[in-house]
Amino acid sequence: MGAHSPAILARGVVKRFGTTQALAGLDLTAEPGTILGVLGPNGAGKTTAVRILTTLLRPDAGRVEVAGFDVVRQPDQVRTRIGLAGQYATVDELLSGRENLVMVGRLFHLPRAEARRRADALLERFGLTDVAHRPVKTYSGGMRRRLDLAASLVTEPQVLFLDEPTTGLDPRSRLTLWEIIREQAARGATVLLTTQYLDEADQLADTIVVIDHGRVIASGTADELKDQVGGDRLDVTVAAESDLEDAVRALERHATGPAHVDVAQRQVSVPIRNVPGLLAAVVRDLDARNVRPLDFRLRRPTLDDVFLALTSAPAGPAGDECEEAA
């Protein structure tokens, strides 16, 4: 890798599918050895970006370099340095876990003995030794995902791309994957991780970029992003749905931004700048409107709030046809 080149560099990347603009001038930078979290609502262009960075898709315009090599002009140089684990397990269902890993190693041009050694070590590390010789079609979803990640690590990549690696996994499998992702960064790999789970980005990423409609709308560390939303959040839960409207009116007088209402939870959430006496004033206003709060909570903003403030769409692990098609 060049002395000063970032591990991932994208400048003004544009990609269209027919009339759909998937990427509209995307910029990304990741320094070697860091974890970059890419957040965005469904259809924001996350998967398209990953596919371009991993040479699966050609950009219509813009400059993209991975590990110092141009993805369009030097794809083979990029391919010897990257690993990709996608949303959909990219392993052979009819082969066993071990056969899959050995095959990837051989196609990476490792000597046979080395391919086998790495396969066995990864199966061991990922807790798949017991099922190593069973066809992948008999694996559970979590096992399949771990095997897929293992397949992308056979090549000991400098830059690892993980497209929603934990979507649909149970909490225990997620924690195992998180641990492995941290290990990869610790051994010096650069990791780009797309996720719909904000706590995942919060937990893992050194830097987070939020993308929407194919371009970056915010970036920074988790704390920097939270500061961007401004101040604190006040959540008020009311006893009856009919109280929500009055609660919003009372709270908005003190808020620094628009209120978010969660009707199902009977909760109103507003951004506020906490100054002495403010909370007392809020309580008096609620009282004056006969609103009885069941719960009254002042907190730091979460990435969820950042997401809601920055993008029009709510975050959530929902299905996503648009990204699949890409």
Residue 263, judged by CB atoms within 10 A of its CB (0-12, 13-18, 19+), counts as exposed
Alpha-helical segments (H) within the chain: 46-53, 75-79, 97-107, 112-125, 141-153, 171-186, 198-204, 222-229, 244-252, 278-288, 303-310, 321-325
CA distance 204 to 261: 29
> Per CB under 8 A, does 246 bind other proteins?
no
> Per CB under 8 A, does 31 bind other proteins?
no
Of 81-89, 238-246, 277-285, 309-317, the window that binds other proteins (rule: CB under 8 A) is: 81-89
* From 20, 24, 32, 99, residue interacting with other proteins (rule: CB under 8 A): 99
Binding mask 138-157 for other proteins (x = CB under 8 A): -------------x---x--
Binding mask 274-293 for other proteins (x = CB under 8 A): --------------------
**Listed residue (12, 19, 41, 33) closest to 183, CA to CA:** 33
> Per CB under 8 A, does 320 bind other proteins?
no
* Strand pairing class (232-238; 267-272): antiparallel
> Per CB under 8 A, does 126 bind other proteins?
no
Q: What is the CA radius of gyration of the chain?
A: 23
Size of the residue set binding other proteins (CB under 8 A): 45
CA distance 319 to 249: 35
Smallest separation (angstroms) from other proteins to the CB of 303: 27
**Size (the chain), residues:** 326
- Rank residues 60 and 304 by Cβ distance to other proteins and give the closer one: 60
Where along the sequence are the contacts to other proteins (CB under 8 A)?
2, 4-6, 9, 11, 17, 29, 54-58, 65, 68-70, 73-74, 76-77, 79-80, 82-84, 86, 88-95, 99, 103-104, 106-109, 135, 151, 155
